Structure 1
Amino acid sequence: MTLITAVISIFILIAISAVVSSSELALASARKIKLQILAKEGEVRALDVLAMQDNPGSFITVVQVLLNAVAILAGVIGESAVSPYLEAILQHEALSFLQSVIGYETLASVISFILVTSVFVLFADLMPKRFAMSYAEPIAIRLVRPMMMLIFVFKPIIWVFDGAADLLFKLLGVSTVRRDDLTSEDIYAVMDAGAEAGVLKHQEHHLIANIFEMQERTVTSVMTTREYIVYFDSNENHDVIVETMIREPHHKFLVCLEDDLEQTIGYVESRAFLAMVLQKEKVRLTDPTILRTALFIPDTLSLFDVLETFKSTGSDFAIIVNEYSLVVGVITLKDVMSIVMGELVTVDEQPIVQRTENSWLVDGMTPIEDVIRTLGIINLPNSENYETISGFMMYSLRKIPKKTDFIEHAGFKFEILDTENLKVNQLLVTKTTEE
């Protein structure tokens, strides 16, 4: 074999090896979600890639057979065709001392091996695989059909090796089925990576994180608590009702029997009631034209469950009861959506106000999830036992909190500034250590 023929043969083998090795890494690295999107857009070959990822045994076998066969053949060609020419060069008078040290034939074989191996590593393995990592899905789609053809051609060989490998894995009790189960942690990691790379804007990252948080947060974390519920007795004086509706900012008011929240019979909307008043009509709260049926929900529901309940019932307002059938609060669709929008929504009174660079004023009824996010704390101890920062203080102090009580945790000092009866109104949170 002439030198030119040998060089051409080696480059053909390099091209074959490059295609096979790039297809190997591309099909392994191609993201399942991206391939599913391409398949929905009409790229049929994406379905072939997905099918090959689910059952990669035959593909891996044909890849290994081809790569090893090409490498062996290249070594044979390099040894038989390149070594004689290198040996002739080494026999030059200026290099005659090499004969006594190692021998021309041995040195020519070593140099031939190094040259062929180096070329193969660079052009047949390293560069194709790095390229395949950067463009996994496009390369996998383009090469899946040729690889399917090779699998068909080498079917007998594949059957032998694949069958032997499957038998050994079965004896060892090892599963070779690829699993791509996507967890919430995976999604969070993708979101964080997207935010760091600038693909996701800060607002988009914030919204998506809040949506996932809805599954974890219970309805009691955002409800209007019992003490702030404005309600009327069914026999309340007409003038008192009008005055209260004008004074209070709420749009919906509960109607109860005997001034007892546990005997709630429904609710009225201020707009409908006041509209009838303006029409000079004498209105009773029990009038079926304005009294609406109340939706009762348990306090164990998550915000996502509440949203689904609102959707299925067509309601946007619900009364929350605990396991003892006591009314503990009310919630509206606006309350739920405020969690999704979070800091993107401007409200008149913020529950957390940053006073200085390292201190915050926090309302006692602020949900503990909002405190954790604002302060950047990884977590608070035993957070399943409380839902608000007031509950955290009560749990940590092991008593009813009073003014000036404080605790220190995770580099922050939580100090109570104001209480009212048994309720914590406001806390001062101060950062005590630098990260």
Structure 2
Amino acid sequence: MDPLGSIKEVFIVIVLILMNGLLAMLEMALVSARKSRLEQLADEGSSKAAYILKLAQEPTEFLSTVQIGITLVGIGTGVYSGAMLAAPLEGLLREISVLRPYAGVVSYTFVVALVTYLSLILGELIPKKMALNNPEKVAMSFAGFIKVIITAFKPLTVFLSVSTRFLLKALGLKPSDEPPVTEEEVRVLLEQGRLHGVFNVGEQKMIENVFELDDLRVSEIMTPRTKITWLDVNDPLYKHLEVIAEKQYSCYVVAEEDLEHVLGVVYTKRFLADVLGATGASMRSSVQQPLYVPEGMYTQKLLDMFKDTRIKVALVMDEFGGLAGMVTLRDIIEHLVGDLPSYDEEFKQEIVEREDGSWLVDGLLPISEFKDFLDLDELPLEEKTGFNTVAGFVVTNIGHIPTAGNYFLWNGYRFEVVDMDGTRIDKILVEKLPEAEAAETDAKDQ
């Protein structure tokens, strides 16, 4: 057996494995490269970044080239290692009397196992890990090599591409219409960015709130009818001014006698300007028409309507045509960025943590904010009944208009009504049960 020949054969196999690793690394680098980073580098004048960006936007040709290369290298590695390395090893094993009958099988099995191991480590895992650490830099470093292999394999990639399209058409299969990036993938990237310090929690939450606009109904962010401050058009001017001075809102619902007869809305600035600057101006003459929208409308659509019409207020109507609540542009903004303080407004906490660890919750707290606070995806009967506040959640689960002291247990929590405002729940005490008691409660619910 020629020692130099064996070393040469081993060297060739290792080179083939490393070639496989290079192709795998380039494939991973291109797939993982951030297009935003490549665009930035291309704008700064990097021709390599511009070329890699073009490939990333239309990766089919490059990925086909890589797959062809990996396949050919894999075939070459398998054939060469089996033919050229197993034979010398078999000769060595035949000199051992115990192994002589099995020398062929043992040598071939050992060579295959060793080459497979090296292919996984040097040809897949390590190169891909290197690519993931800095995909843009790796891809740009080998931009010239990528151009060469794409050109070299172009006839073969064209032939395979035509063959693939023909077979797909023959089988009646069409290209997927799935978007290149899904909302869930963006959420995962946001979470990863937060964990690595790219985003803070507030930025992540704000972007996620933007995604919710398409799924959030206006009834979930509206000011409910019971909390609307309204002006009676028949009241004298001084009463209107008293309410405006006390509440200091930017707009008010205007009705005649009650909220069953809504006339529209009045904007405080416009009304005061009319009163101070025009003789004989009245509340009725200052009324303007808001948008009228159904409870089931999604918030994103309402936001688009606000932008198109330049109207900043919408009255939400129930299925019977009655007033259900009011939504302003400010309500949508507050859903995105959190509560915004008004001028001279006293801060009011809707969830107050007590010394014993329980929470005192305002009954009119939107259910979406309550779920975020407890980190819950869904509450019982939410889909069926469509309640929008914590008070609605409590009434649904108790089954009747409660009185102070009524409570129920769910999911390891105790919900107790502690204060009523007439028939409306004003405050709820939420207490997390001890683990043993919570487990017993869950067992009873099953």
TM bin, normalised by shorter chain, reads 0.7 to 0.9
Q: Offset at 1:48?
A: 2.2
Q: Is the 8 A contact 2:16 2:73 kept in 1?
A: no
Partner of residue 19, structure 1? 22
Quote the offset at 1:205 in angstroms: 1.7
Counterpart position of 2:443: none
Q: Could you say which residue in structure 2 is the equivalent of 1:417?
A: 418
Distance 1:344 1:241 in 2: 25
In the alignment, which of 257, 263, 269 is matched to residue 265 of structure 1? 263
1:238 corresponds to which residue?
237
1:110-160: CA deviations, max 9, x gaps? 888887776665544443233234334544455576456445545676688
Deviation of the 1:17 alpha carbon: 3.2
Q: Which runs of 5+ in 2 are unaligned?
A: 43-49, 439-446
- Taking the aligned partners of 1:54 and 1:63, their CA distance within structure 2 comes to 14
**3-state SS in 2 of match to 1:250:** coil
**What CA distance in whole angstroms lies between the structure 1 residues aligned with 2:65 and 2:175?**
12
Distance of aligned partners of 1:364 and 1:54 in 2 relative to their CA distance in 1, 3 Å threshold: farther
CA deviation profile, 1:339-384 (whole Å, cap 9, x unmatched)? 1122686962122222236311111111111111112334211212
Q: How many angstroms apart in 2 are the aligned matches of 1:242 and 1:335?
A: 24
Question: Structure 1 residues 139 and 50, CA, compared in 2 at 3 Å: closer, same or farther?
Answer: farther
Q: Distance in 1 between matches of 2:142 and 2:298?
A: 47
Take 1:415 and 1:177, find their aligned partners in 2: how far apart are those partners? 51
User: What letter corresponds to residue 22 of structure 2 in structure 1?
Assistant: V
Any residues of structure 2 matched to 1:164-313 within 5 Å, and which? 181-256=180-255, 258-278=256-276, 281-287=279-285, 290-313=286-309
Deviation at 1:432, TM superposition (A): 0.7
Q: Superposed, which structure 2 residues align to 1:20-169 within 5 Å?
A: 20-27=23-30, 29-30=31-32, 34-35=34-35, 38=38, 42=42, 43-53=50-60, 56-57=63-64, 59-73=66-80, 76=83, 78=85, 83=88, 99-102=96-99, 122-140=121-139, 143=142, 146=145, 149-150=148-149, 153-154=152-153
Q: Check 1:78–1:175 CA distance in 2 against 1; reply closer, same or farther (3 A cut).
A: farther
Is 1:335–2:331 an aligned residue pair? Answer: yes
Question: Which of 3-12 and 227-236 deviates more?
Answer: 3-12
Secondary structure of the residue aligned to 1:215 is coil
| Residues 316, 370 of structure 1: alpha-carbon distance in 2 compared, 3 angstrom cutoff | same
Structure-to-structure mapping, 1:373-392, within 5 angstroms: 373-384=372-383, 385=385, 386-392=387-393
Secondary structure at 2:334 match in 1: helix
Instruction: Please say if residues 207 and 340 of structure 1, whose CA atoms lie closer than 8 Å, have aligned partners that are also in contact.
Output: yes
User: What is the rounded CA distance, in whole Å, between the counterparts of 1:37 and 1:24 in structure 2?
Assistant: 18
Query: Is the contact between residue 417 and residue 429 of structure 2 (CA under 8 Å) also seen in structure 1?
Result: yes
User: Max radius of gyration: which structure?
Assistant: 1
Q: CA deviation at 1:334?
A: 1.5
Match of 2:317 in 1: 321
- Asked if structure 2 preserves the Cα contact closer than 8 Å seen for 1:363 and 1:426, the reply is yes
CA contact (8 A) 2:27 2:63 kept: no
Matched to 2:126, the amino acid is M
Q: In 1, distance between residues paired with 2:40 and 2:232?
A: 58
Deviation per CA, 1:39-72: give whole Å up to 9, x if none: 5864233222443348845542332012321443
Q: Which amino acid aligns with 2:379?
A: L
SS, match of residue 69 in structure 1? helix
- The answer as to whether partners of 1:294 and 1:318 remain within 8 angstroms in 2 is yes
Count of aligned pairs: 419
Distance 2:224 2:113 in 1: 78
Matched residues in 2 for 1:139 and 1:40: separation?
16
Q: Which AA in structure 2 matches 1:135?
A: N
Q: 3-state DSSP class of the match of 1:286?
A: helix
Change in CA separation of 1:189 and 1:113 when aligned onto 2, cut-off 3 Å: closer
Distance in 2, matches of 1:47 and 1:296, equals 48
Task: Decide which moves more: 53-62 or 206-215.
Answer: 53-62
1:354 aligns with 2:319: no
Aligned pair in 2 of structure 1 residues 121, 388: CA closer, same or farther (>3 Å)?
A: closer
Question: Could you tell me which amino acid in structure 2 is paired with residue 390 of structure 1?
Answer: A
Identity %: 25
Distance 1:57 1:177 in 2: 18
Q: Give the CA deviation at 1:301.
A: 1.7
1: CA distance, partners of 2:362 / 2:179: 43
CA contact (8 A) 1:36 1:46 kept: no
- Secondary structure of the 1:356 match is coil
1:268-325: CA deviations, max 9, x gaps?
23334334545695431133xx433322222222222222211111111222212222
- Distance in structure 1 (CA, Å) of the matches to 2:374 and 2:295: 27
Separation in 2, partners of 1:269, 1:344: 19
Residue type at the aligned position of 2:133: S
8 Å CA contact 1:49, 1:144 repeated in 2: no
Contact 2:275-2:282 within 8 A present in 1 as well: no
Q: Which amino acid aligns with 2:399?
A: R
